[in-house]
Amino acid sequence: MDAIAAEDRIAAIRRFTRFYTRRLGVLREGLLDSPFSLTEARVLYELAHRTDPTAGELCQDLDLDPGYLSRILKRFEEQRLVRRVRSASDGRQHHLVLTEKGKGAFAPLDRQSREQIATLLMPLSEADQRQLVANMRAIEKRLDSGTAQHDSFALRTHRPGDMGWVVHRHGALYAQEYGWDETFEALVAEIVAGFVKNFDPEKERCWLADRDGDILGSIFIVKQSDEIAKLRLLYVEAHARGLGVGKRLVDEAIRFSRERGYRQITLWTNDILHAARGIYTKAGFRLVSAEPHHSFGHDLVGENWVLDL
């Protein structure tokens, strides 16, 4: 590489970094006029969008010094923003859980961050916004040589608007792939409405696989009894199949159920859903009963599966 050209490129990247950090105000003592530093806000973000991670997982994924993260978490615990929960499967590990106070502290920070980015995008046309996002994805892909960023995704819990999307995508996808009629969409709507109305955050959870705002799939765990959880509404978008989305969603649902003290997970599916049945089998579920039924405009065979935890 030509030495002069290399220096020009280095200078250009450093200039862009200075520009972007200034526009976002990350050099200020408190991010977005909050009491949190940039690193503290990022830790809060991860705690709000993950399901009970360990400190070790945060250290690895955020590339943080363990001592530095430990001091941050200690302050959060003293402020009652975070609590530690001993792992039910490994007594040597503790999972980090954002308290209600912690969620309340993070909510305005998250809202202001979204509003700040929306303000940055507002002067741009729709085409320019799409190009900007594409350019950012290209930067991620080029600089992260160890990971195929275009194939990466994160799991997050639900937020306003997601339930309607889950109903819409189930209805559209199953109509397209299996010819199921609108009564299936109605069933999904009833399930998600019940989930929202009776939501128990300690024993129930919805996860969505999210890639840069593109929802790739979903899964739900709902409380059937104190000891039995029910897995519901697993789906994966056609363009995301082969990325391990379904397996990761099921694995997360199982891990959550174990941590919450359930002794068994049940689920109901149909024998034509071969991909889902394959995931359930590999995860250790066993088929316990099957019965023909006529639903969603078709003759089907419904199946009940269970997993002992």
Quote the domain boundaries for residue 91: 3-123
Q: What pLDDT sits at residue 148?
A: 46
In this structure, is residue 137 part of a structural domain? no
Q: Is residue 86 part of a domain?
A: yes
Query: Burial letters for 165-200: b for 16+ Cβ neighbours within 10 Å, e otherwise?
Result: ebbebbbeebbeeeebeeebbebbbebbeebeeeee
pLDDT by residue (tens digit) across 233-275? 999 998 888 888 999 999 999 999 998 999 999 999 999 999 9
Greater confidence (193 vs 14) lies with 193
Give domain status of residue 284, yes or no: yes
Instruction: Give a yes or no: residue 138 inside a domain.
Output: no
In terms of domains, do 88 and 197 share one?
Answer: no
Number of domains in the chain: 2
Are residues 206 and 73 located together in one domain of the fold?
no
Over range 163-167, report the average pLDDT: 95
Tens of pLDDT, residues 181-240: 999 999 999 999 999 999 999 999 999 998 877 899 999 999 999 999 999 999 999 888
Q: 36-39: which pairs have CB atoms within 8 A and are 24 or more residues apart?
A: 36/105, 36/109, 39/64, 39/68, 39/72
* Judgement on whether residues 164 and 81 belong to the same structural domain of the protein: no
In a domain, 75, yes or no: yes
Q: Are residues 78 and 162 in the same domain?
A: no
Tell whether 49 and 175 lie within a shared domain.
no
Shared domain check, 164 and 58: no
- Asked whether 149 and 137 are in contact (CB, 8 A), the reply is yes
Q: How far is CA 263 from CA 205, 230, 232, in A?
A: 16, 11, 17
Residue 101 lies in a domain: yes
Same domain as 304, residue 251: yes
pLDDT of residue 7: 82
Question: Is residue 128 domain-resident?
Answer: no
Each residue's pLDDT tens digit, 34-67: 788 888 888 988 888 777 788 888 888 888 888 9
DSSP string, 37-65: -HHHHHHHHHHHHSSS-BHHHHHHHHT--
Q: Is the pTM of this model over 0.75?
A: no
List the CATH number of the domain containing 263: 3.40.630.30
Which position has the higher pLDDT, 127 or 3?
Answer: 127
Do 217 and 96 belong together in one domain? no
Same domain for 244 and 104: no
Query: What pLDDT does 216 receive?
Result: 93
pLDDT of residue 149: 44
pLDDT bucket at 168, cuts 50 / 70 / 90:
very high
The 10s digit of each residue's pLDDT in 88-103 is 766 678 889 889 999 9
Confidence band (pLDDT; 50, 70, 90) for 150?
very low
Asked whether residue 25 falls in the same domain as residue 71, the answer is: yes
Give me the mean pLDDT over the 281-285 stretch: 94
Same domain, 113 and 44: yes
Mean per-residue pLDDT of the chain? 88
Going by pLDDT thresholds of 50, 70 and 90, the confidence category of residue 16 is confident
Domain check: are 118 and 183 in the same one? no
Q: Considering the domain boundaries, does residue 129 fall inside one? A: no
Q: List the CATH number of the domain containing 96.
A: 1.10.10.10
